[in-house]
Structures are given as C-alpha cells and as structure tokens.
Amino acid sequence: MKLTFLGTGGGRFTTITQKRMTGGFRIDGFAGKNFHIDPGPGALVRSFEFGIDPSNLNILFISHAHTDHYNDGEILIEAMTKGMTEKKGLVIGSRSVFEKYRRWGPCISNYHKTRSDLLTLFKDQTIEFDEFIIKGTKTSHGDPTGVGFQLKSNDLTISYTSDTGYSPDLHNYHKGADILISSVLRPGKKSIKCHMSTDNFKDLINEVKPKLGIITHFGLKMIKANPGKEAKRIEKQADVPILAASDGMSINISDKNPSNFEIEYLKRF
Ligand SMILES: [Zn+2]
Ligand SMILES: [Zn+2]
C-alpha cells in the first residue's frame, strides 16, 4: 500500500495563497483499489506533476463541502471515467457532496453523478464491500454533514479524521487504526473551533494508539511553526512514529506490518 500526498495545505488562507499544495492524498493498492481523498484545488494538476495517473482511480472520497476538499472532485470523476465515456468507479462523500444541505453543497453536478456509483456516508455507518469495509467517523466541523472514515481490509486499518475539532469521544471512532491521518491546522496547544492543533492530535494518538500517525492539512500558522518540528515534538510524548506530510511525499507501507515503511519524495515533472 502506498500513501501519496498531493497537497498538505489546509484552510482558506493556505489554499488561496498555495503556501502548500491542496490536492489531497492518494491511497494506492489498498485492498487492490486506488483512492483519491479530498481533492482540493490542484488535485488533477498535482497528480500529473508527481507522475500519478488519475485515470487509474477506483474510488474518490470527499469528506465535506469545503473548497479545499472538493474543488477538483468533478474533474477527477472525468479522469476516472475516461472523460465520462465509461461507467466506472465509486464516489463516496458526505451528504453535502451530493445534495444541498442548508448552506453547504452540492459539490458534484448532476452530470458528474451519471457514470460512477455514489455512496453517501454518514457517521456510524458501516458499509461492507468484497475487499474492504468503510465506516463513517464523526466530525465536529462547519459542514454538519462532514465525515471522516475508517477503512479496514484483511491486513490493514487506515483512519482519516478529515477536518474536525477534538472531542473526548473522537478516539472511539478511530480505535483499531494502524495508521491515523489527521487534519492538524494549528501548531501547539491552541486549536481554533472545528479544527485540531498538534496537542489535540497528541491526545488523540495516545488514545487511539496506532502504529503510525500522520499530520497534514496545515494552516499558515502551522506552516510557519514548521510541521516537521511539531511532529517531532509530539512524537517524544507518544509511543509511535509521527510524520508531518509534505507535498509529494510518498510512503510505502507494509500491509502486514505498518511500522515498516519507506518514504520517497517524488520529483515534480
Ligand atoms: Zn479543510
Ligand atoms: Zn473544512
């Protein structure tokens, strides 16, 4: 299994300034499928820049109706379906991805809903496919329909919190994760409403106890504080390796033993 970050920026100001890229990330070779998670602005272009083929996608996941998560969703559907000529793939998203919910969404046009299977995921919902199980996880965020996930195959469990504030029950949704990936917008102790800070993530790690923790989706203050240093700081207080994702970082992870991983920094073409 391979995790590749096509963007590690998050929040409005990192996105509009592109201080970090905002293309989301790929999970390739999980239960034989290729996933693109939260394709923010640049997801298509960054895929090609880093030598990744968006037409080999099987599953697109969009966690909520904020631009830094859904912007390139429609064009990736076009890539996945060979320009809407083939019926292919699965789009999984929050309710607001597919329909208007109060002032959020929809993020995908009716035209783009016609060539792929669609699945609205709610927190606490578990869907079983042949090769894997996906469970919707709770978020406390601006879009009330926002959802994270836990993906489970025979060998490996990956959890993604998406954008959420920390809450004392959040770990219940992510327990059992071998790999925990989180949006960590702010450094240090100080979180803002609906987002986690590094210290929130440290608490979550200590509760979930995964084999590998990864932080991404950095706001401007986090970028200034240096996400790598923040990860090192909390790694000392947690008993697991913590990685700060960077643009173009690709992590090869052994499905059977996620503590065994190798990092590659992809060149831009
Ligand atoms: Zn975001
Ligand atoms: Zn958001």
173-230 pLDDT, tens digit per residue, is: 999 999 999 999 999 998 888 999 999 999 999 999 999 999 999 999 999 999 999 9
Task: Report how far ligand 1's centroid is from the alpha carbon of 61 (Å).
Answer: 14
Segment 17-68, tens digit of pLDDT: 999 999 999 999 999 999 999 999 999 999 999 999 999 999 999 999 999 9
Average pLDDT over residues 3-15: 98
Average pLDDT over residues 118-131: 97
Task: Report how far ligand 1's centroid is from the alpha carbon of 63 (Å).
Answer: 9
Task: Report how far ligand 2's centroid is from the alpha carbon of 65 (Å).
Answer: 7
pTM: 0.98
Return the closest-CA partner of residue 86 out of 116, 53, 54.
116
The per-residue pLDDT for 190 is 84
Q: Where are the domains of the chain?
A: 2-265
Taking residue 64's Cβ as centre, other Cβ atoms within 10 Å add up to 28
Task: Report how far ligand 2's centroid is from the alpha carbon of 56 (Å).
Answer: 27
Return the closest-CA partner of residue 231 out of 243, 248, 246.
243
Structure token pair of residue 94:
């929050």
Segment 14-30, tens digit of pLDDT: 999 999 999 999 999 99
How far is 44 from 108, CA to CA, in rounded Å? 16
Average pLDDT over residues 78-99: 98
Report residue 177: phi and psi, to 5°. -70, 135
Fold topology of 2-265: Metallo-beta-lactamase; Chain A (3.60.15)
Segment 132-164, tens digit of pLDDT: 999 999 999 999 999 999 999 999 999 999 999
The per-residue pLDDT for 136 is 98
Q: Return the beta strands (E) in the chain as ranges.
A: 2-7, 22-30, 33-37, 59-62, 90-93, 117-120, 126-128, 133-137, 148-152, 157-160, 179-186, 196-197, 212-216, 242-244, 249-253, 261-265
Q: How far is CA 35 from CA 72, 133, 163, 165, 181, in A?
A: 14, 14, 18, 25, 14
Task: Report how far ligand 1's centroid is from the alpha carbon of 55 (Å).
Answer: 25
